[in-house]
Structure 1
Amino acid sequence: MLILLPPSEGKADTGSGKPLDLARLSLPALHPAREQALDALVALCAGDADTAADTLGLSPGLRGEITRNTQLRTAKALPAGSLYTGVLYDNLGLADLPAPAKTRAKRTLLIFSGLWGTLRIDDRVPPYRCAMGVRLPGVGLLSTHWRDAMAQALPEAAGTGLVLDLRSSMYTPAWTPRGDVAARTATVRVLHERNGARTVVSHFNKATKGRLVRDLLLDGANPRTPAELVTALRDLKHTVEELPPARPGRPWQLDIVVTEL
């Protein structure tokens, strides 16, 4: 099973170890695209600060991120599993997973990133600021920049198993599952049911997805198809409604229904 996660805006302030070594990051097929994105971001942030802030969509209170980005090749790095601190990751709770579940997390989780493409949780990178929707000079829109490299790397990472796609909409254009991989892919929507009515949730969408992944890791479940995933989630007491694809070769959609937020 491969679980695709978005990153988070919230990140640790500093690293705690050796600087970045791009060649040691997982999915080496992404290496050339990583080099290009990193060079372009550092050059942008070493130039005019107003241009960098506009390009990265930074508010005045975040202008310090420009200086941070100029130092990405020399700054202390930390594991990606410790870098992201947003709602999804708070509820996933990687730090306090027991050893067997943490081993499964290292094998199954893949975090999408505008700057790095994707990261395993033990890939070491420095704190940075660069979303997938950014257009870097000389590189262009990052979601487009990653497509060719992802088309090679992601099917290899998925192998013959299930893909649980929990990415937010900003990150889905960087890779679209196709063919046999798409048929083994499930996406998740979180719905809040109250007084017989259902609404799509946003903030608690992230919290629910974090708890869902944690439950799967703790349980040791290894579903190989979307149908098996539905069974596994129901066994873990999640309320799940499945929407099989209208045509073969398309992902399934799973609705996770919650009554408490």
Structure 2
Amino acid sequence: MKILISPAKKMRTDTDTLSPQALPAFLPETERLLSALRSLSRQELKQLWRCSDAITDLNVERLARMELGKGLTPALLSYQGIQYQYMAPGVFETGQFTYLQEHLRILSGFYGMLRPFDGVTPYRLEMQARLSVNGCPDLYAFWGDRLARALAGEAGLVVDLASQEYSRAVLPHLPPSVEVLTCTFGELRKDGRVVEKGTLCKMARGQMVRWMAERGVRRSEELKDFQDLGYRYDAAHSGHDHYVFLKEKEGF
């Protein structure tokens, strides 16, 4: 079983807490992306990143001094978004880190797909960015089926906890032999629709990864027991390949 999650825009460097165990598997592709980014002007980068002047300046500086093999941070500790705050890897025990290294995969526009202890450096490149590389109009075309082929070689079951922006870089390319289970964390509207809210979803995804690591979850059926942050598995809205967790109205 492999668990897919998205990265986070906010990143940090931490070379003291834990050491990386390896370099990312798709480092040659990352080197080509780095070269493509460095060929762009500051204004082109700002348009690509769709960010403020301050964030543009920070990441232009990062590009200028970026080294893909030095001063690296384990990916799991480098990302700092809401999902990772609720995952709280900084307080995991050794056995939980071992579980995540085996089962968790982080999708990335820049690195492709990461194991938790792959060494990374802070970058800015979302999967949906329209960066033209090697004749490919965007990153979805650039990565093609590479990530899916690597994942299919590792897993017969994929638990999809990634956003659609990232999961669409992998799921459409997986062979039928790989079972995909998508998890939705939403609220039930009066018209019967299940609606997800961005921040709450990120919190729940991170919390579920933590919960799985604490319990050593290895089978899809076990996920039905998840009951954190006010969410409960809802059989009426779920199916074999889609588990829906509804938030109780009274909150956490």
Would you say same fold, with TM above 0.5? yes
Q: Take 1:80 and 1:32, find their aligned partners in 2: how far apart are those partners?
A: 17
Aligned residue pair count:
234
Q: Return the match for 2:181 from 162, 181, 186.
A: 186
Matched, 1:73 2:63: no
Q: Take 2:77 and 2:92, find their aligned partners in 1: how far apart are those partners?
A: 13
Q: Take 2:32 and 2:158, find their aligned partners in 1: how far apart are those partners?
A: 28
Amino acid at match of 2:233: V
Q: Take 1:196 and 1:137, find their aligned partners in 2: how far apart are those partners?
A: 42
Amino acid at match of 2:244: D
Map of 1:232 onto structure 2: 222
Q: How far apart are 1:195 and its partner, in Å?
A: 8.3
Matched, 1:143 2:143: no
Contact kept, 8 Å, 2:226 with 2:233, in 1: the verdict is: no
Amino acid at match of 1:235: D
Task: Give unmatched runs, 5+ long, in structure 1.
Answer: 224-228, 246-251
Judged with a 3 Å threshold, the aligned counterparts in structure 2 of structure 1 residues 130 and 212 are, in CA distance, closer, same or farther, namely same
Match runs of 1:171-250 below 5 Å: 171-176=166-171, 177-181=174-178, 184-193=179-188, 199-223=195-219, 229=220, 231-237=221-227, 239-241=232-234, 243-244=238-239
Map of 1:255 onto structure 2: 244
Matched, 1:56 2:49: yes
Map of 2:3 onto structure 1: 3
- Root-mean-square deviation (CA), in Å? 2.4
Q: Return the match for 1:104 from 76, 99, 107.
A: 99
Aligned residue for 2:195, secondary structure, equals strand
Aligned residue for 1:38, secondary structure, equals helix
Amino acid at match of 1:68: R
Task: State the TM-score, normalizing by the size of structure 2.
Answer: 0.83
Task: State the TM-score, normalizing by the size of structure 1.
Answer: 0.81
Contact kept, 8 Å, 1:113 with 1:131, in 2: the verdict is: yes
Aligned residue for 2:124, secondary structure, equals coil
Map of 2:163 onto structure 1: 168
- 70-79 or 55-64, which deviates more: 70-79
Q: Take 2:213 and 2:141, find their aligned partners in 1: how far apart are those partners?
A: 32
Judged with a 3 Å threshold, the aligned counterparts in structure 2 of structure 1 residues 194 and 132 are, in CA distance, closer, same or farther, namely closer
Contact kept, 8 Å, 1:56 with 1:134, in 2: the verdict is: yes
Deviations 1:101-151 (A, max 9, x none): 111011111000110001111001111111111122434311221123223
Aligned residue for 1:135, secondary structure, equals coil
Task: Give unmatched runs, 5+ long, in structure 2.
Answer: none
Deviations 1:82-102 (A, max 9, x none): 111111111111111122111
Identity %: 25
Contact kept, 8 Å, 1:104 with 1:217, in 2: the verdict is: yes
Map of 1:16 onto structure 2: 15
Deviations 1:189-216 (A, max 9, x none): 1112588975322210110111111111
Contact kept, 8 Å, 1:15 with 1:126, in 2: the verdict is: no
Amino acid at match of 2:54: G
Q: Take 2:34 and 2:153, find their aligned partners in 1: how far apart are those partners?
A: 24
Deviations 1:29-88 (A, max 9, x none): x344223222212333xxx21122112222212122112122222662211011111111
